[in-house]
Amino acid sequence: MNRTGRHSARILTQTSALAFAAVLALSACGTDDSAAETAPEGAEPTQAQGEALEAEETADKTTETDDAEGASDKAEGTEVKVGAEFTDKETGDVITVVSAVRNNPTEYYEAADNPDGEMVYIEVKVEPGESYGGTISSADFYLDSAGEEANYASSASAEIEDAGYEYFDLAPRRDGEHTGYIPIYVSETADELKGTYLRPEAKVLGEDKKIPEFTSEFEIPAS
């Protein structure tokens, strides 16, 4: 597969080198509480009070109905299990592609007038090694898109969150384990999608040392 937007060398740091009110409005003007009318205990509500209660109940039911219809109208993707785990022997990072959510509704610009494409959310878990600093990036995950490799669709991050998922952007190694979802749009989908994790070659800050790139493949099954 051809790779587009391939990264240049990344900078890593050796871990050992890191330094350590409320305003109450009165409805009756010019009157005090003693002058306010109170209904006797057990008395039936007046016609005006009854109409007001009925209007309030109707408004609440309308809101609940609208909310329910909005939830049912929102299409949902289909989750599939992946379970691909691999270890970057150079950095000690353990990367797991846990699952994927396929066929997600999207307003991503590339999806306009393209019935052959698909927005996929891949769920990843990263457990960084202890030898280096730096970050693990969402841009390191690719899916095959008609012979090209497509990576994260950054402008679709809000769609991830609106769907109730945590967006995975960058995972600083110093923060430890991190899990989230990455949106990737493929212009031509398939029953099974081939994916790649690619950490580019890295330079170690302050040392004349380079860490070779690491790559591993995974596959997303049909929904």
Q: DSSP characters for the chain? A: -EESS---PEEE-BGGG---------SSTT--GGGS--PPTTPPPPHHHHHHHHHHHHHHHHHHHHHHHHHHHS---EEEEEEEEEE-TTT--EEEEEEEEES-----GGGTT-TT-EEEEEEEEEE--SSB-SEEEGGGEEEEETTEEE-B-GGGHHHHHHTT-PBP-EEEGGG--EEEEEEEEESS--SSEEEEEEEPPEEETTSS-EE--EEEEEEEPP-
**Can you give the pLDDT at residue 76?**
83
Which residue numbers in the chain have pLDDT < 50?
2, 4-5, 16-39, 65-66, 68-74
**Can you give the pLDDT at residue 27?**
37
**Can you give the pLDDT at residue 121?**
98
**Can you give the pLDDT at residue 23?**
30
**Can you give the pLDDT at residue 44?**
61
pLDDT tens digit sequence for 57-104: 665 655 554 454 444 344 589 999 999 999 999 999 999 999 999 999
Q: Which of 112, 167, 168, 122 is nearest to 144 (CA)?
A: 122
**Can you give the pLDDT at residue 208?**
87
- CB proximity list for 31: less than 8 A, separation 6 or greater: none
- In this structure, the number of other CB atoms found within 10 A of the CB of residue 172 comes to 12
> At residue 172, what is the residue type?
P
**Can you give the pLDDT at residue 6?**
53
For the chain, list the domains and their CATH numbers: 77-220 (2.60.40)
Which class for 184: exposed (0-12), middle (13-18), buried (19 or more C-beta within 10 A)?
A: buried
Contact 48, 55 (CB under 8 A): no
HEC states along 55-98? HHHHHHHHHHHHHHHHHHHCCCCEEEEEEEEEECCCCCCEEEEE
